Structure 1
Amino acid sequence: MSTAPSQPTLVFLHGFAESPDIWADFTRDFPTRYRLLMPALPGHGPNPQPVADYTIEAQAQAVLAEFDAAGANKVVLVGHSMGGYVALALAEAHPERVAGLVLFHSTALPDTDEKRAARDESAGFVRRHGVGKYMRSAIRPLLAPGNRKRLAAELKQLEDTAAATPEATILGCLEALKHRPDNIHILRDAKFPVLFIGGHDDPAVPLDTLLPQLALPAQSHALLLRGVGHLGFIEAPELTRRAVLDFCAAVC
């Protein structure tokens, strides 16, 4: 493995049916002392190619290979939604590589039985009606109601990115999300600091399920935002950017 670079390395992991582009505006003004890596998760990105294995563990191995190739040894992981699940898998497999972890609208809990059933319903809808129609109904509710009109252009961009994701990736990731394990022990055993970013109006990671997790890491930080759903990087970019920058400054 290559020697770690002198610059602190921040690894930004996007979520399900997203792409590294979600971080472009968010990180535009980050200090140059940081090196930023924004890998595309398997089957995602500007030129998505379906892969054989979409499990969260396989996605984590793909990300690990990318920051190994970049010569990054110890990193701060910033994971949005599914990206947070991938970050947790990386932290479990290689805790010595993690300087800090940001769970950005993400959780260490597995799917509930109700959520697993909903994943199956979503997969059936995709098979019958296609990815585009599914995404037009799935992404809008992730924004807090008060933000949907204000962020219409950003919502359209997210929908277009999601609609371009291969059906095989959508179906593979839905299955991977359904079967991801309970990772509460990773937070409880963490030797690295953890920042939780949550939204009061997040339908995907409800605040009442997130709050008990805040007490688990030995070093825990939190930003809980009113009027924000599941997409704080566009719903409250200044507040979430400042929280991530302050966290990185403290751990790097």
Structure 2
Amino acid sequence: MPTPTPAPVLVLLHGFLESPEIWPEFVGDHFTDCRVLMPALPGYGGPEDKAQDFSLETAAEALRAELDRADVGRAVLVGHSMGGYVALAFAEKYPGLVAGLGLFHSSALPDTEEDAERRGRNRAFIEKEGVGKFADEFLQPQLSPTQRESLTHQVEQLQRIAAVVPQAVALSSIEAMSGRPDRRAVLEKAAYPVLFIAGKDDRAVPLEKTHEESLLPDHCTVLWLAGVGHLGFIERPADTRRAVRQLVEAAFYH
């Protein structure tokens, strides 16, 4: 008998002050032909998580170890925001293990001066008020103004997830994001399909960044979404899910 073809592997990487809990509703029953992995980034795995290093590069190594434990070869990596930074760090070191790359409101560019100032304000707020209070103030403005009233329940869930992230992890994550290098070369060298999901109301990842980066890969798709901010997985789940589905198909079935 012929050896069965392994199922495509999709790895979903959560972002800053998030956890794997953001993904199950998004995934639903739409990826039943795939192995879907939803790892916790270092520090985000709950009370049993004893991680001490929260750099993006260490997170990429932790992901490599996770894939080895799961006996995974090549995988499609889709990262939301900070998760996209981890996916890029992984792709830089292990390009042969990447079947496709999805940057879900994320970027290969380093922080601008304006970004650095914003992160500095966020750091000072967390140090003074704590993670829970920061989440109360931080999350709703990430939505498009058109979505803020209708998605109160989903925002409350994200605030609950964020509130249990240890303060040291939150502050270290900000430091890791602030110091990340320019990884546009990863996109230029990509021998796999690349997807950008971009919200037209995303204040964290301006459209100009995404447009500039989308011209770099050989095979790239961009999903531009009006009325969407930085949380497209809850603002437009059907459209963003379809884009991820198409990335998996381009990576494994074409």
Alignment gaps of 5+ in structure 1: none
Distance 1:145 1:45, change over 3 A: farther
Could you say what the CA RMSD is over the residues aligned between the two structures, in angstroms? 1.4
Question: How many Å separate the matches in 1 of 2:28 and 2:118?
Answer: 36
Name the count of aligned residue pairs: 249
Find out whether 1:78 has 2:78 as its counterpart.
yes
SS in 1 for 2:230: coil
* Aligned twin of 2:115: 115
* Aligned twin of 2:216: 216
- The Cα of 1:49 is off from its aligned counterpart by 3.3
- The Cα of 1:88 is off from its aligned counterpart by 0.3
Question: How many Å separate the matches in 1 of 2:122 and 2:40?
Answer: 23
8 Å contact kept, 1:50–1:169: no
- The Cα of 1:46 is off from its aligned counterpart by 4.3
* Aligned twin of 1:98: 98
Question: How many Å separate the matches in 1 of 2:7 and 2:114?
Answer: 44
Question: How many Å separate the matches in 1 of 2:48 and 2:131?
Answer: 14
Question: How many Å separate the matches in 2 of 1:118 and 1:50?
Answer: 29
Q: Post-superposition, which runs of at least 4 consecutive aligned residues in structure 1 deviate over 4 A?
A: none
Letter in 2 for 1:64: R
Question: How many Å separate the matches in 1 of 2:38 and 2:47?
Answer: 15
Letter in 2 for 1:107: S
* Aligned twin of 1:162: 162
- The Cα of 1:122 is off from its aligned counterpart by 1.4
Question: How many Å separate the matches in 2 of 1:115 and 1:29?
Answer: 37
Between stretches 115-124 and 186-195, larger displacement belongs to 115-124
8 Å contact kept, 1:19–1:46: no
Letter in 1 for 2:151: L
Find out whether 1:236 has 2:232 as its counterpart.
no
TM-score (norm 2): 0.95
Question: How many Å separate the matches in 1 of 2:243 and 2:134?
Answer: 32
- The Cα of 1:30 is off from its aligned counterpart by 2.2
1:120-168 Cα distance to aligned partner (Å, 9 max, x none):
2211211111111111111111000110110000000001111110001
* Aligned twin of 1:15: 15
Find out whether 1:43 has 2:27 as its counterpart.
no
* Aligned twin of 2:125: 125
SS in 1 for 2:25: coil
8 Å contact kept, 2:125–2:134: yes
* Aligned twin of 1:207: 207
SS in 2 for 1:173: helix
8 Å contact kept, 2:104–2:196: yes
8 Å contact kept, 1:18–1:45: no
Question: How many Å separate the matches in 1 of 2:100 and 2:215?
Answer: 16
Question: How many Å separate the matches in 2 of 1:244 and 1:49?
Answer: 29
Alignment gaps of 5+ in structure 2: none
* Aligned twin of 2:66: 66
Question: How many Å separate the matches in 2 of 1:35 and 1:234?
Answer: 22
- The Cα of 1:117 is off from its aligned counterpart by 2.2
8 Å contact kept, 1:91–1:186: yes
Question: How many Å separate the matches in 2 of 1:146 and 1:215?
Answer: 29
8 Å contact kept, 2:198–2:224: yes
- The Cα of 1:8 is off from its aligned counterpart by 1.0
Identity in percent: 48
Letter in 2 for 1:26: F
* Aligned twin of 1:225: 225
